[in-house]
């Protein structure tokens, strides 16, 4: 084997090893595995920025359709990327072993073709490996091809099961918090329906939801790109709404058990911290203004809640939000979620640098979040 053949073989082995390592880390290892040299991460982030950039130039309905298909399409794209990388890697290896193949492989295109039919186990028989090393390469190609397809199918079933469990509570939240959801709408609805005594149970449910989402989305970050099937809903805005509601109960509202609300805020803050730490953040967060809090404060008072003094409540609420709001807003920027206020005032959810929602869609969101008159 000459120098060119040796280099070809080494590069091919490197590509195969890198791809198999990426598949192992992405599909099999159930924990965050950040790593710079992983093809799936490069493809995922690069393709998302392209798709999001295209979506920004479209109207709201078209944006939602385009961004909504990205998550499933990204799963397919990752499979295609892995298969192509293996085909090229094995092709380079077979090119280096040209003399062990009948008829001899004389160019890269033919070597890649032979690798592809071996990887997919099609095996037309027009090219045959007759040397020991070439037979090993072909056998490994066939085995990894079948194994990857089986792993990805299992991976997709796991993704969709986690997605459905996540969306179940997000959709149910719409009944009390509206769409887009807001914390004030949620708390006002519970007061009107005389369900205030059920708020601790509500926060327990969302504690469990946050723990499950933390486990699944940290293990499989691709889930963050799967959007809700209903308009004006997202798991990001639902989480922000629940955390704001928990913060209001634990800092502003009297007469309601605060323990479960505080635990819910802590678990949710942990979820935000861990997922944002994986790099799914973009832009800058916008701090909540005092006048926006005052709007929420008056609405809660009008709904019949007994409240802490406004100045004290504002200081405590602002401090409680620091544990989750800035990072969660930057996550919303990254994933281009619907632009609305979690609190339920006219405040934007995200900074002005984000333009994923078209200007014509903004009035509907803010109008839905306007104070409700009795």
**Tokens at 21, concatenated:** 């390592």
For strand 306-307 and strand 253-254, is the pairing parallel, antiparallel, or unpaired?
antiparallel
Q: Which two three-digit tokens encode residue 264?
A: 């819910």
| pLDDT at position 354 | 38
- For the ranges 33-47, 53-67, 107-121, 317-331, the lowest mean pLDDT is seen at 33-47
Write down the mean pLDDT value for the chain.
85
Statement to judge: residues 121 and 214 lie in one domain: no
Residues 229 and 346 in one domain: yes
Q: What is the pLDDT of residue 353?
A: 36
d(CA 327, CA 306): 30
89 has pLDDT over 60: yes
Percent of the chain at pLDDT exceeding 70: 90
Position 32 pLDDT exceeds 80: no
Answer yes or no: pTM beyond 0.85.
no
Give the pLDDT confidence score for residue 123 in this predicted structure: 75
Residue-range definition of the domain harbouring residue 188: 178-368
pLDDT recorded at residue 269: 96
Residues 149 and 182 in one domain: no
Chain segment 115-139, per-residue pLDDT in tens? 999 998 887 778 888 889 889 999 9
Question: How large is the average pLDDT for residues 250-279?
Answer: 93
Rounded Cα–Cα distance for residues 35 and 22 (Å)? 9
Other CB atoms within 10 Å distance of the CB of residue 367 = 9
Q: How confident is the model at residue 258 (pLDDT cuts 50, 70, 90)?
A: very high
Question: Is the pLDDT assigned to residue 196 strictly greater than 50?
Answer: yes
Q: Would you say residue 171 lies in a domain?
A: no
The total number of structural domains in the chain stands at 2
Pair (100, 222) in one structural domain: no
* pLDDT reading at 372 higher than 90: no
- Could you tell me if 90 and 226 lie in one domain? no
């Amino acid at each position: 084997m000459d120098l060119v053949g040796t280099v070809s073989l080494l590069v091919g082995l490197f590509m195969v090893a890198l791809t198999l390592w990426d598949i192992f880390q992405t599909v099999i290892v159930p924990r965050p595995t950040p790593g710079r040299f992983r093809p799936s991460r490069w493809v995922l982030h690069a393709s998302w920025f392209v798709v999001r950039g295209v979506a920004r130039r479209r109207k709201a309905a078209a944006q939602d359709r385009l961004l909504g298909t990205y998550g499933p399409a990204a799963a397919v794209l990752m499979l295609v990327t892995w298969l192509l990388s293996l085909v090229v890697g094995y092709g380079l290896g077979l090119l280096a072993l040209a003399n062990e193949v009948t008829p001899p492989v004389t160019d890269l295109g033919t070597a890649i073709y032979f690798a592809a039919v071996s990887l997919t186990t099609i095996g037309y028989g027009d090219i045959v490996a007759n040397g020991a090393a070439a037979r090993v390469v072909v056998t490994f190609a066939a085995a990894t091809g079948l194994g990857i397809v089986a792993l990805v199918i299992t991976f997709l079933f796991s993704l969709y099961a986690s997605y459905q469990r996540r969306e179940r509570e997000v959709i149910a939240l719409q009944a009390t918090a509206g769409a887009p959801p807001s914390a004030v709408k949620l708390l006002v609805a519970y007061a009107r329906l005389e369900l205030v005594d059920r708020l601790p149970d509500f926060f327990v449910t969302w504690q469990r939801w946050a723990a499950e989402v933390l486990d699944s989305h940290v293990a499989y970050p691709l889930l963050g790109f799967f959007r809700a099937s209903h308009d004006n809903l997202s798991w990001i805005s639902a989480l922000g709404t629940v955390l704001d509601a928990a913060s209001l109960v634990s800092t502003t509202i009297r007469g309601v058990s605060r323990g479960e609300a505080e635990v819910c805020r802590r678990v949710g803050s942990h979820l935000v911290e861990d997922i944002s730490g994986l790099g799914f953040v973009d832009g800058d967060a916008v701090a909540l203004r005092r006048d926006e809090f005052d709007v929420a404060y008056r609405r809660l008072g009008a709904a019949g809640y007994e409240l802490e003094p406004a100045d004290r409540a504002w200081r405590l609420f602002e401090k409680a939000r620091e544990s989750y709001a800035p990072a969660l807003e930057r996550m919303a920027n990254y994933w281009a979620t619907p632009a609305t206020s979690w609190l339920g005032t006219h405040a934007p959810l995200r900074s002005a640098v984000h333009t994923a929602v078209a200007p014509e869609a903004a009035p509907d969101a803010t109008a839905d979040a306007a104070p409700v008159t009795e």
